[in-house]
Structure 1
Amino acid sequence: MTNQPFRSATIDLAAIRNNVGVVKKLVGETEVMAVVKANGYGHGAVEVARAALEAGATWLGVADVDEALALRSAGLQAPILAWLHDPTASFDAAVRNGIDVGVSSVAQLEAVAVAADALNRAGRVHIKVDTGLGRNGAEPSAWRAVFERAAELQGEGRLEVVGLFSHLSNANDDEDRAQLQQFDEAVDLAASVGVVPPIIHLAATAATFRLPETRLSMVRLGIGMYGLSPFDDVTSAELGLIPAMRLEGRVIAVKRVPADSAVSYGYTYRTAGASTLALVGLGYADGIPRLGSNRAPVLINGQRYRVSGRIAMDQFVADVHDGEVAVGDQVVLFGDPAAGHPAVEEWAEAAETINYEVVTRIGQRFKRRYTS
């Protein structure tokens, strides 16, 4: 047996740096925001943020203020934007710690201003507008009111409008270009009432690669930073990206069984002949998608097998047939296909989801190890 942890997610920080570098080269002088929300898409927010900044990213992006505060507590002083908030949120901690706040309404502008008044310092905001995604962001009918109030608060020295942004649907290039046109209208309207922020941002990973006109003054690099493709028709390797996470477990039991032996709950799998079953101590409590049952690949001793039977809360089985497998052997669920590992996308296809979800849901029972 090895000293490998029972559950292991190995994160290659050199891959993170490579992926940021690829985008930096692509966008030139445009700034890059490294999006590390949701614990860095499951990879570890603090470690990924440090690697991204080393590689030339100049901003960090998170969903909420608590995530931003965790980065500040770790000593990261780069600009951070947090854009999703509880309706009754107080922004005192954000203003105190120099965290930029994404706002979508007059009410949120006022809440940031109240926090700024209490701390006697201007709050930093990015105004988000909805250009057709239908999620957070001020709707077009509210744009003028939001911009005018932002201009007033900025004139009073209570706020600094640092940015204006939106998010694309990635439905198709024509739809995204239509959103860009609407976003341009929002930028023009804001300027007409005196709001001319230094940073205008719209593109996430997909548009950064496919629609250069959307790069503007900053791009938000999310899934691409982790070495995964946002496209169904282009692989990460074709984009020059390297998958950063390798997910591993260990064989914890091996048994030889006769033909027609049933495996796991519901007996959804039976062996075709006399076979060896390898038990792996990973399950849906660890974030392994149960929909991968009987479909998802694993790599054991350099050989590919499939999950056999239903994935349980803490374990699953792989029928290795007549393969040589022993207790303690390494099991790779996914990693870098260039190294011979199954791709994250294979698990996503098996679980009828997307690569974003597969990596983001990886739980805290996994020991995250970092290599560089």
Structure 2
Amino acid sequence: MANKVWHTRLGLDLDLNKPDLGQPGMSGLWDVLYQLDRADGARGKPVSERGLQCGGVCRDAGVVAWMYLRQQANGRREAVHEHAEDEDRHSAPMSDEHKAYQDRIIRVAEQGGFRAGSEVRTTIAPRKWFQTDAVVDNGAGLRIGWEIQLSTASTAGPRSVRNRASRAMSNGITPAWHTDMTRLARRNETQWTRSDDLPAEVIRKTGVLRVVSGFRALDIWRCDSRALYPCPDGRITRCGKTHSTPKPRDIDFDSLVRSTAAGLVVPVEFPDKTTTHRFWVSADDRDRYYDLLGGAPSGPAGPELVPKGHASNDGPTCRPRATLIPSQRPTVDWRSASHWSSTARPCRFCGSVTNLRDDRQLPAHKVCYEAQ
């Protein structure tokens, strides 16, 4: 709800805190406008066509937010936003730090040659949309939607992080959530990144801004007597398989913004026995990890973020040069350690390097092998 309303058809600023709505000499203005708005609603006229906009916080933020009028039983006059996103803008005003992050994302993205905008609305149905703090578009179909969360975030409901991230993905936006709160960065409903709690002037100025969690390097290793890590399968003796272990790495925030837009840093889902961890890795590490698994993994825990019927944003690690009628060949268990080599060699089908080996121990990607 808001107290300041802009009437587009009359060209009037209205202040609901004042008996005359801030328009001296226009007696009975509220009664006229309220009855007209109720009549429009009864006829099914969309809120966006009734001529009432938020004239306070939303207008100051450069956002067109449509409203309708309401009067409580005690006579209290109210102007209500059509969309919850606009209502939230009043109850939780944007902090200086939040705005500084938005400004920095826009600046470094544009310096990197990408298109970027703040408070970007994405239409998902007639008169229905959602808003993203900042969107970076590389012009080739990849859009990164940055959400800056510097306060508590809900875990359930339509405004939860999981639902908002899922909604972004289903509409072609890769979600990127950034925070300065450790307890948020430890959650796994989306790919969280975290920087230290810093004042707005430090966030906004040019210089190194470290991302201290959320970006990792993937260490691919064979579980033998020379391994540095314990067997993730819990075996005392070595299993002989090849595993992947994520290792935290710092990254500069500006580099993260540009690299995600360029597709050089990508989101990945890393399942273990109890949950699915979500973080960012280099595209090369993602491809090596998918080669190890023989394709993108399916986690045992946590709702899937990509809605059914929508393709993944991640392309295959290689593309076969030709698609032939499948031939009868033995089934290959690509997860077996016998189909992995520590030496990367050119795939015999597409020529790109791979650590995978087929049933004849020849280098071959899973997708290339199965397409022949």
TM-score by length of 1: 0.21
Q: TM-score, normalised by structure 2?
A: 0.21
Structure richer in helix, relative to its length: 1
